[in-house]
Structure 1
Amino acid sequence: MRNTLSLIVMITLLPLLAAGSAIPFDQMQQNSVALTRRWEVQDAEGIVDYQNLQGQMQMTTSKIARGMVAYEKNMGQRHPADLLEHRNLERAVGHDGLADDNNVLWYGTITAGTPAVQYTVDFDTGSSDLFLPGPSCGQTCSGHKVYNPSHSSTSRDLHKTYRLSYGDGSSVRGEQYADAVSITGKKATGQTLGASTQYSSGFQSPRFPADGLLGMGFQSISVYNAPPLFQTLVSQRQISTPIFAFKLAKSGSELTIGGVNNALYRDSFTYVPVTHQGYWQVNMDGVSVNGGRVLGGTSVIIDSGTTLIVGEPHAVQRLYSNIPGAQPANEFGQGFYSFPCANIPDVSLTFGGHQFHLSADTFNLGRESASSNRCIGGVVGQNIGASFWIVGDVFMRNVYTAFDLGHNRVGFANLA
């Protein structure tokens, strides 16, 4: 029996007075929406779910590949971090195997259409497109709320299709529309979104409890080649401060739109510049284990839609070689490692000269089996065909993360 941890989370709009300014939390006008988090990397007994880990890796690898393909198509040149000389579009979008009902999701509500209809979406900083179930989706979208553009007085058919293929042979595909889309009461007009005619099995309810997905990356990796919702809100002056921020934790989690929530962090932010717009790509100074630096600097992307921290295989091997008793856990897949559960290491990532530690709860994904005293680590070595690491929720659950579009940077602060 799986243990689904649901969190009631808030999305709060901060109507800040000017770019870069902050309003005390108790003075903010709060427009909030309940979000739910599903964390099922391990079962009720603390045993790692093998199929879920495999699904997470497949989903992450395929998403990065799709972004690379979209970047080259949109920008007319390969992404500078793309290590593959030739990417075939069908291959690149064809291996995104979503794990059944074991996904890690951060989802909440938006509205679309006129009159406005409410939908739940998964918020993903590692992609850039918004799609919902469409009126022709049929059984594959059963259990999800349908977006019907013919019922909206502000919808406009863009006469473009989209298709995202998945490892099970099915796909998310449909027609692109422009329509009004709102989050926390702030409306984007003419926002590009997809009305899906088919959902992959991984997006079917209850495997994927949200109705759709909302990407929060940059336009250059958009399959639609259209501005993502947050960028549209900024360009249409719906928010005065072009920042959104995440707290992803066991309790009190929220996504803040239009600034940061001063009550959710302590001390000051450590900011690092975005080195290349597409993904939220920044430089990491290094990785330490039990107080000693074991890896030097590398480029990373900060991805709320990825569960794990995924790094270059040789570097990850070097990391685990500094953890007493660690060894490969190839039965879980290439690049996974285990270590003695009684000796969980202190692993930290350094950004902007500041060390941020991974808690034991986030680094430890769970025990190998019911009879095992060994646990699986949350940093995985994988060749994703790109010269950056993917830093997902294993890290983000330990910090308050601000995505600053106005200053082209990402900020990290210690949780309050």
Structure 2
Amino acid sequence: MKIKRPASQYFSRNAGGQPGVFDPTYATAEIKGLLGKYAQAEQFLSGVGLNPDTYPEKGYAPFTHPLVGALNSTNATITNTAGHANATGATTPNATSASNTTGNVTLASSHSQFFLLPFVEKNMNQPPQPVVQFPGTAQMPLTDDMDGNMDILYYGDLAFGSQSQTLTVDIDTGSADLWVPVNCRSCGGDAFRASNSDTYRNLGQRFSVSYGAGRVSGTLAQDTVSVGSLSVVQQTFGAVKSESEDFYDEPSDGLLGLAFGSIAQSKRPTFFENLMTSKQLASGAFAVHLQRGQVDGSEVCFGCFDTTKAVGPITWSPVVSRTYWSLELGFLSTTQWKGIPVNLTAAIDTGTTLIYVPDDVASQFYALIPGSMVAMQYGPGFYSYPCDTTLAITLTFGGRAYGVDPVDFNLGRTSADSSDCVGGVLALGEGFPDNLAIIGDEFLKSWYSIYDYPGNRVGFALSVNNRDPP
């Protein structure tokens, strides 16, 4: 999801590394955008109004990673391995340790020949190893669009048409449509020049997507869309002719939805689903690495798992609805000893920056932090807490607890001389299902995430972001 660039920094850190002053501009805009993005969430999660599920993963085996072990135990607490008491880690009694082996690993499926990029044993402080590309996989490098020290959104390159024109797209696991501007002079970014493509076809059907106050509209079109060596012929996408001003200042041109096609406004399969259907992929899974505070280094690995981006075992949680990449969120905790049961459906959303929960859950969560209070000066949904509070915030999916780095949770001080900071768990407010949580990049920067269609699950492995700095 794309949001208009705020006029000032979201927040920053001073020379001593302490959080700067919080600016609510972006977070306020994001909440409004989510209201449009998740307007149909309640009916979708109830199985109403969905497009038919084509099960594009037929013929693919669930992901198996013999070197970075999958955990099958329940109630396995993820603990710190990076030397940061309140950060994240990935050690559990049943974790399978990586070996010293270097080489390629294959899966049992006939369409899983080169799922793993070359594996090298990981030391937490060992520099990442070079990655080699294999057939049936494609890596999309992502640019981290930052505002101050805040990671706002991540975008990468897709090629369109017979001339392979490159456009940039936000990576969004919280929606299922692909759209880019086409012959649009009034749009903020670059536009696809349809007249230069011999394979472009305008379907003439209206297309529009709303993001709160923001909206894009146009018609549906088809053309060849490619990433690396992977291409979909006649991929349906939104040919946007009009954008609201919320999109004018964005660094990227369009959006690539990676949720299930059952919720696509176009009512057509997604780009990744078409790659699976055409049996081009080495695996029916993709993985996402989101860098923290660095323009370069993030990526999407289509059909592959990049072992240079993870330093711990993978733990899996089943998808509860083939709409969003939705997991059961059982508990929210502020320390090892303080937590609340929540029983929410959590959408794992790379297109959202922060973490959002229902009003009553946010209230109960902050009640566990002494000295916290509603921060109404920023509008509904915000809470503050004493900056010097020692927190070990975790989210529990499938009986396993995953940490949120305190650097990402702390959004900044309420004023330059204040001892109170704004927390990164926000209340959704009215207009959202009362059982919905939205888990954004604040969480995902600590966890390499794997989205496994054949296994109908999401996996998390400790990200290389948690290595000690050199």
Confirm or deny a common fold (TM above 0.5): yes
**Corresponding residue for 2:354?**
308
Give the conservation status (yes or no) of the 8 Å contact 1:344–1:364: no
Q: Are the aligned partners of 1:52 and 1:103 in contact in 2 as well (CA < 8 Å)?
A: no
> In 2 relative to 1, CA 193–218 (structure 1 residues): closer, same or farther, beyond 3 Å?
same
Distance 1:222 1:40 in 2: 33
Say if 1:259 and 1:210 are closer, same or farther in 2 by CA, change over 3 A.
Answer: same
**Aligned-partner SS, 2:304:** coil
Alignment partner, residue 4 of structure 1: none
Partner of 1:85: none
Q: Give the CA deviation at 1:75.
A: 4.3
Deviations 1:270-293 (A, max 9, x none): 101111111111112312111124
1:260 aligns with 2:305: yes
Residues 171 and 103 from structure 1, CA distance in 2 versus in 1: closer, same or farther, beyond 3 angstroms? farther
The residue identity in structure 2 corresponding to 1:239 is: L
Say if 2:251 is the partner of 1:209: yes
1:319 aligns with 2:365: yes
SS at match of 1:55: helix
Could you list the per-position Cα deviations for residues 330-371 of structure 1 after superposition, in whole angstroms to 9, with x for gaps in the alignment?
Answer: 111212110111224221112233221111111111111223
Q: 2:241 is matched with which residue?
A: 197
- Cα distance, 1:216 vs structure 2: 0.6
Which AA in structure 2 matches 1:341? C
Q: Does the CA contact (< 8 Å) of 1:40 and 1:103 recur in 2?
A: no
Alpha-carbon shift at residue 394 of structure 1 (Å): 1.3
Q: Please tell me whether the aligned partners of residues 288 and 448 of structure 2 are also in contact (alpha carbons under 8 angstroms).
A: yes
Residues 451 and 459 of structure 2 are in contact (CA less than 8 Å); yes or no, is this contact kept in structure 1? yes
Output the amino acid matched with 1:191.
Q
Is 1:377–2:351 an aligned residue pair?
Answer: no
Task: Pick closer, same or farther for the CA change 1:158–1:265 going to 2, 3 Å.
Answer: same
Deviation at 1:117, TM superposition (A): 0.6
Work out the CA distance in 2 between the residues paired with 1:171 and 1:394: 25
Using the alignment, how far apart are the partners of 1:245 and 1:55 within structure 2?
Answer: 28
**Cα deviations across residues 226-270 of structure 1 (Å, max 9, x unaligned)?**
111111111111212011111212243222111211122123211
Aligned in 2, Cα 1:112/1:67: closer, same or farther, shift over 3 Å?
farther
1:394 aligns with 2:442: yes
- Name the residue aligned to 1:42: 11
Q: Which amino acid aligns with 1:154?
A: T
Query: Is 2:265 the counterpart of 1:223?
Result: yes
State the Cα distance separating 1:44 from its structure 2 match.
5.9
Matched, 1:59 2:101: no
Q: Who is 1:31 aligned against?
A: none
Secondary structure, counterpart of 1:57 in structure 2: helix
1:176 aligns with 2:220: yes
Write the letter of the residue equivalent to 1:236.
S
Q: Distance in 2 between matches of 1:130 and 1:67?
A: 19
Map of 1:249 onto structure 2:
291
Gaps of 5+ in 2: 1-7, 15-19, 53-146, 465-470
| Structure 1 residues 55 and 41: CA distance shift in structure 2, 3 A | same
Shift of 1:69: 7.1
Q: What is the CA–CA distance in structure 2 between the aligned matches of 1:267 and 1:412, rounded to whole Å?
A: 9
The DSSP-based 3-state class of the residue aligned with 1:104 is strand
Provide the secondary structure at the position in 2 that maps to 1:277: coil
When residues 247 and 146 of structure 1 are mapped into structure 2, their CA distance, relative to the original with a 3 A threshold, is same
Q: Does the residue aligned with 1:60 lie in a helix, a strand or coil?
A: helix
2: CA distance, partners of 1:295 / 1:44:
31
Give the Cα–Cα distance (whole angstroms) in 2 for the partners of residues 67 and 159 of structure 1: 27
What is the percentage of aligned positions where both structures have the same residue?
33
Alignment of 1:76-155 (within 5 A): 104-135=152-183, 137-139=184-186, 141-142=187-188, 144-155=189-200
Higher RCO by CA contacts (8 Å cutoff, separation 6 or greater): 2
In structure 2, what is the Cα distance between the partners aligned to 1:52 and 1:165?
17
Question: SS at the partner of 2:30?
Answer: helix
Structure 1 residue 222 displacement after superposition: 0.6
Give distance in 2, aligned partners of 1:68 and 1:224: 19
Say yes or no: does 1:240 pair with 2:309.
Answer: no
| Residue 187 (1) aligns with residue 231 (2) | yes
- The one-letter amino acid of 2:346's match is V
Q: Distance in 1 between matches of 2:424 and 2:288?
A: 20
Q: Structure 1 residues 167, 314: CA separation in 2 closer, same or farther (over 3 Å shift)?
A: closer
SS of residue in 2 equivalent to 1:403:
strand
Cα distance, 1:178–1:72 mapped onto 2, change above 3 Å: farther
Count, aligned residues? 349
Gaps of 5+ in 1: 1-38, 77-99
- Paired letter, 1:178: Q
1:328 aligned residue: 374
Distance in 2 separating the partners of 1:253 and 1:103? 11
1:94-118 residue CA offsets vs partner (Å, 9 max, x unmatched): xxxxxx9998211010101001111
Distance 1:299 1:161 in 2: 31
Query: Larger deviation: 192-201 or 58-67?
Result: 58-67
Change (3 A) 1:208 1:68: farther
Q: CA, structure 1 residues 408+128, in 2 after alignment: closer, same or farther (shift >3 Å)? A: same
Partners of 2:34 and 2:378 in 1: how far apart? 16
2:175 counterpart SS class: coil
Matched residue, 1:287: 332
- 1:285–1:167 CA distance, 2 compared to 1 (3 A): closer
Letter paired with 1:114: S
Is the alpha carbon distance of 1:263 and 1:167 closer, same or farther for their aligned partners in structure 2, counting shifts above 3 Å?
A: closer
Secondary structure of the equivalent of 1:394?
A: helix
Q: Is the 8 A contact 2:168 2:252 kept in 1?
A: yes
State the Cα distance separating 1:68 from its structure 2 match. Answer: 5.7
Cα drift, residue 157 of structure 1: 1.7
Instruction: After TM superposition, give the deviation of residue 200 of structure 1 in Å.
Output: 1.4
Moved more, 352-361 or 66-75: 66-75
